């Protein structure tokens, strides 16, 4: 009875050992006497008890890790990086899983190799750049690292999905000097902008003043021209009126000098009325009066001759 129970217990144990459950997102590496045999996919799998052993369970889910390391630029500046590394198993093929399972002794050694490879690629790139350029080259650094490591990681059975450089820092002295450079550049740009604004303001003000002077000069010239034309017309009308009056008096057999005497007295009256206290010197002698009358008579005679010529042409 007891031997039968033992046999049944052994059979049940062997059956229990024959079935293996693999979690989603993982595969199981099966070896036979220490040699790779096959892989088991997620779900319930059967194996030969005792002969087939599960060497390792490999996850093909995405994995991430944070890196902190230092590099030296071309101009000997210390650059401190904080990065996030995202990687995963290349695929679920048997050959790929075999590489993942057997290329490294354990995951710790793989992580060390991966970290050192990333750091080495970044340091090699940074060593060719000046510290003033590095802050602008995040994307170029990532592309360089992926180009350098893609084939190497593929041989290990992994794929570098992404490298995010979260922070780039320098020594405190360098940061202070960079801040001073940025501040001085900002002051320089502000001074240039203020200078340009002042130049534009003064230029526009000068243009406005020039336009105002030009407009004022044009207006003054037009006004002077109109005043001159008005005075000329006034004198022309006065002369025409005097000539007409002289003709009328000549027709009436009257002396034309009476008109001139009347104009002379009116002029003296106008001087006295609107002179505003100013002193005006007039030659009141008989010779002066006769000379003035002769000048006026010659002016009238000249204007009469011109008017007769104009009338004859008409």
Mind listing the pLDDT tens digit for each residue in 244-256? 766 766 676 656 5
Q: How far, in Å, CA of 278 to CA of 314, rounded?
A: 47
**H or E element, residue 289:** helix 286-313
From the list 56, 27, 51, 25, the residue with the least C-alpha distance to 39 is: 27
Q: How far, in Å, CA of 242 to CA of 267, rounded?
A: 14
Q: How far, in Å, CA of 26 to CA of 100, rounded?
A: 12
Averaged pLDDT, 42-58 = 90
The lowest-confidence range among 82-91, 186-195, 215-224, 246-255 is 246-255
**H or E element, residue 89:** strand 78-89
Q: How far, in Å, CA of 94 to CA of 92, rounded?
A: 6
The pLDDT of residue 302 is 58
Report whether pLDDT(308) > 60. no
Beta partners for 36?
A: 31
Q: Are 183 and 190 in contact (CB under 8 A)?
A: no
Kindly report the pTM of this predicted structure. Answer: 0.52
Tokens 């050992």, residue? 17
The residue ranking higher by pLDDT, 30 or 193, is 30
Mean pLDDT of the chain, nearest integer: 79
Question: CB-hemisphere CA count at 13 Å for 172?
Answer: 0
Report whether pLDDT(299) > 70. no
Report whether pLDDT(101) > 60. yes
Q: Are 85 and 62 in contact (CB under 8 A)?
A: no
The pLDDT of residue 163 is 85
The lowest-confidence range among 17-31, 56-70, 291-305 is 291-305
Work out the pLDDT band at 293, boundaries 50, 70, 90. Answer: low
The pLDDT of residue 220 is 81
For strand 158-170 and strand 78-89, is the pairing parallel, antiparallel, or unpaired? antiparallel
Rg (CA), the chain: 58
Tens-digit pLDDT profile for residues 154-181: 889 998 888 888 888 887 776 676 667 6
The pLDDT of residue 178 is 61
Q: Are 87 and 160 in contact (CB under 8 A)?
A: yes
The percent of residues above 90 in pLDDT, for the chain, comes to 11
Work out the pLDDT band at 233, boundaries 50, 70, 90. Answer: confident
Alpha helices (H) in 60-171, listed in sequence order: 94-102, 107-126, 131-134, 138-156
Work out the pLDDT band at 10, boundaries 50, 70, 90. Answer: confident
Report whether pLDDT(282) > 60. yes
Angle between helix 286-313 and helix 172-251 axes, rounded to 10 deg: 90
């Amino acid at each position: 009875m007891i031997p039968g129970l033992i046999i049944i217990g052994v059979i049940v144990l062997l059956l229990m050992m024959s079935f293996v459950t693999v979690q989603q997102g993982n595969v199981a590496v099966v070896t036979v006497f220490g040699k790779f045999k096959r892989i088991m996919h997620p779900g319930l799998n059967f194996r030969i008890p005792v002969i087939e052993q599960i060497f390792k369970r490999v996850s093909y889910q995405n994995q991430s890790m944070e890196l902190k390391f230092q590099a030296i630029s071309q101009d000997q500046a210390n650059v401190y990086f904080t990065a996030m590394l995202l990687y995963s198993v290349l695929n679920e093929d048997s050959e790929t899983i075999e590489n993942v399972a057997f290329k490294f002794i354990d995951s710790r050694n793989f992580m060390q190799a991966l970290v050192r490879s990333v750091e080495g690629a970044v340091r090699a790139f940074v060593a060719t750049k000046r510290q003033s350029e590095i802050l602008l080259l995040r994307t170029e650094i990532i592309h360089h690292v992926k180009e350098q490591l893609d084939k190497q990681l593929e041989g290990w059975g992994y794929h570098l999905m992404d490298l995010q450089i979260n922070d780039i820092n320098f020594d405190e002295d360098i940061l202070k000097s960079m801040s001073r450079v940025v501040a001085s550049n900002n002051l320089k740009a502000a001074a240039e902008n203020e200078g340009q604004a002042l130049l534009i303001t003064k230029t526009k003000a000068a243009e406005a003043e020039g336009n105002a002077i030009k407009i004022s000069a044009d207006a003054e010239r037009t006004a002077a021209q109109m005043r001159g034309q008005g005075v000329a017309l006034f004198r022309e009308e006065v002369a025409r009126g005097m000539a007409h009056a002289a003709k009328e008096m000549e027709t009436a057999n009257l002396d034309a000098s009476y008109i001139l005497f009347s104009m002379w007295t009116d002029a003296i009256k106008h001087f006295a009325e609107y002179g505003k206290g100013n002193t005006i010197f007039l030659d009141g002698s008989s010779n002066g009066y006769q000379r003035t009358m002769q000048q006026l008579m010659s002016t009238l005679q000249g204007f009469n001759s011109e008017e007769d010529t104009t009338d004859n042409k008409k």
